[in-house]
Structures are given as C-alpha cells and as structure tokens.
Amino acid sequence: MTNAIEYREIEKSHLAPALFEDFDRRQVVTRCLRKVQGQWVVKEAPFLDQWSEKDYEFLVDCLKNTLDQGGAVYGAFMAGKLKGFASVEGKPLGTRGQYRDLTSLHVSCDQRGHGIGKQLLGLAVKWARAQGADKLYISSHSAVETQSFYESQGCVDAVEIQQEHVRREPFDRQLELDLNRYGKTGGKRG
Ligand SMILES: CC(C)(COP(=O)(O)OP(=O)(O)OC[C@H]1O[C@@H](n2cnc3c(N)ncnc32)[C@H](O)[C@@H]1OP(=O)(O)O)[C@@H](O)C(=O)NCCC(=O)NCCS
C-alpha cells in the first residue's frame, strides 16, 4: 500500500486550503487517556474530531509560519493527492534546546493504519536529527488509538513539559521521542 505513496517536503507556495481537498481529518473518538491521581487511565470520552473550512485556513497559516520560522512540512501523496502530513518546528525547545516540536502529524481517515504515519514521523525524526536535536516534543491527541501509535514508535511522557502546549490543549498528552534511540531498538520502532 505504502509503495504507491510519494513522500516529499511541501514548499510554502504549495500551501493552500485546496491542497487538503482530498484529506479527511475525521476521527470518531470513543476512549481517551486522562491523568487520574498521577496515572494515565482510559475514560469514555466520545466526540467527533473534524475540521471546518476555517480550521483548514488556520492550519495553512500555521504551516506557512512553520516554514517561515525555519521548520519543515512533509506530505504523503497518493496519485498526487495529499493523504497525510507532518510539521516540525525549527525553533529549539527545552532547557538545553534538546527538543524540536512536532506540531502536526495527521493521516486522512481513509488511509490510516497503512504505515503512512510511521513514515511521516520517520521524516520528521530525520529532519530534527539533522538540526542537532536530541528529541521530538509532541503535544499529542489523547485518543486511545493515537496513543497506541505513539507508544508503538517509542514515545514516552515528556520529561520537560512545555506549559504553552498544556495551556493550548489541556487534554493533550505531552510526549517526547528520543532521537538517539528511535529506529535502533528493534520491534515496530523506526
Ligand atoms: C495517529 C496517526 C498519525 C497514525 O498514522 P497511521 O498511518 O494511521 O499509523 P501507522 O499505520 O503508521 O501505524 C504504525 C503503528 O502504530 C500503531 N497503530 C496505528 N494505528 C493504531 C490503532 N488505531 N490502534 C492501535 N495501534 C495503532 C500500530 O502499532 C502500527 O503498527 P502496525 O501497523 O505494524 O501494527 C493517524 O492514525 C491519524 O492521523 N490519526 C488521527 C489524527 C491524530 O490522532 N493525529 C495525531 C495528533 S497528535
């Protein structure tokens, strides 16, 4: 399946709402992780995650800003149509500048579970390593299936929580990915 997918960096001039015409953010969430007395527990939290036209306009502005600030945006294209994307910021985060911020990673609902997310994460890892980062920082969606994905890739709770992310998305789980270990530990990682 992934053989038919082309992965490439997206330039600023290509960023427009029309790029997302064949991308469907839809996510039917039923269960999420919530922290209760210091422990992550699964809770029923049914809702539908979907993006409006305004959300796509905002997304495009954010991705343009990522590129303006020295970050990178990657796309997964199937027959020329965007089916997944990832963005990673250029600005270092953390007390030692050890983090680069993975600000988006999304696969269209019709193509999830075929390895696209893993490939896009791999591209973000490669880019962040080349920038000299030690870790990716991820303010992640708390849905159980999203968490299973990040866990399968070796992500763990972030050591240095970035409060700006917590303020923006209080229900997100703050994760990090060790770039020195990613892809070297066998199993499904890398
Ligand atoms: C999370 C997301 C990016 C993962 O991308 P994907 O292409 O669907 O995932 P992959 O096919 O690359 O999966 C890699 C591994 O993650 C795990 N995984 C992925 N989806 C899973 C699911 N629904 N349930 C359990 N494990 C899952 C599996 O271990 C999988 O490995 P395997 O295929 O060998 O079993 C994608 O599902 C998505 O966009 N979800 C909705 C939006 C979202 O949550 N984005 C993240 C915001 S922080």
- List, for residues 59-69, the tens digit of each pLDDT value: 999 999 999 99
pLDDT of residue 123: 98
Q: Is 46 helix (H, G, I), strand (E, B) or coil?
A: strand
Q: What is the mean pLDDT of residues 27-38?
A: 97
CA distances from 92 to 29, 131, 146, 180 (A): 32, 9, 25, 17
Residue nearest to atom 15 of ligand 1 (CA): 149
Best of 20, 27, 112 for a ligand 1 pocket test (most atoms within 8 Å of beta carbon): 112
| CATH architecture entry for 2-178 | 3-Layer(aba) Sandwich (3.40)
Best of 7, 118, 149 for a ligand 1 pocket test (most atoms within 8 Å of beta carbon): 149
Alpha carbon of 76 to ligand 1 centroid (Å): 14
- The closest-lying atom of ligand 1 relative to the alpha carbon of residue 143 is 44
The torsion of the CA quartet 176, 179, 181, 185, rounded to 10 degrees, works out to 90
CB distance 76 to 64 below 8 Å:
no
Alpha carbon of 158 to ligand 1 centroid (Å): 19
- Pocket-forming residues, ligand 1, beta carbon under 6 Å: 27, 105-107, 112-118, 140-141, 143, 145-146, 148-149, 152, 188
pLDDT of residue 2: 47
- List, for residues 152-178, the tens digit of each pLDDT value: 999 999 999 999 999 999 999 999 999
CB distance 119 to 7 below 8 Å:
yes
pLDDT at residue 185 greater than cutoff 70:
no
Integer Cα distance of 129 and 145 in angstroms: 27
pLDDT at residue 25 greater than cutoff 50:
yes
Residue 184: pLDDT band with limits 50, 70, 90: confident
pLDDT of residue 190: 42
Is the full-model pTM beyond 0.85? yes
- List, for residues 112-159, the tens digit of each pLDDT value: 999 999 999 999 999 999 999 999 999 999 999 999 999 999 999 999
pLDDT at residue 3 greater than cutoff 80:
no
- List, for residues 70-110, the tens digit of each pLDDT value: 999 999 999 999 999 999 999 999 999 999 999 999 999 99
In terms of C-beta density within 10 A (0-12 exposed, 13-18 middle, 19 or more buried), how is residue 178 classed? middle
Residue nearest to atom 8 of ligand 1 (CA): 112
Integer Cα distance of 178 and 137 in angstroms: 9
Cα 57 to the center of its chain, rounded Å: 18
